[in-house]
Amino acid sequence: MCIRDSPKTPKPLSVSSCVEVRREYEMCLDEKYHYIKAMKTHPNVTSSRRKCRKAHFTAPSHIRRRIMGCHLSKDLRTQYHVRAIPIRKDDEVTVMRGNHKGKKGKVISVYRKRWAIHVEKITKDKANGTQVQVPIHPSNCMITKLKIDNDRKRILDKKKVVEKDKGKFQTGKVEMALD
């Protein structure tokens, strides 16, 4: 039973009983809101929402590049053993979320200042009749074809995740272990 549910009027409390009351009150809050407070694990990284949002939206261009990453399609993921990579001009993408879901095209520009990419065939008409590119956030897209050059190859090799055997023996190794 929680403290606030008890019908008795509170009596003056000693220091030890105050600590117990405080613990019980926190347990009541946890029951009410169904959450457990997570401990902060790294002392140099803030967990303040305000500071994290400020760091995100005032990030310099070289960090925005990493944040503006995009998932690879399943066949590219199996080919390169990489899940996501920063998007760049001349990649081909499919829009996965939003009003333009399912549309495909080539990336015309990566607009880091506005956190957006512009895709070739995705435009809208203005009131005066001119067509403008629709900005799309890269997290709402999936890369279907990569523009590969030496820098991209180096990045893919660096990010490559090699699958481990997970403790499974091959037939030759088992026979040698038995001998």
* Token digits of residue 75: 């066949």
> For 138-162, how does the pLDDT look when each residue is reduced to its tens digit (9 = 90+)?
999 999 999 999 999 999 998 887 6
d(CA 66, CA 159): 13
The predicted model scores a pTM of 0.66
6 pLDDT more than 60: no
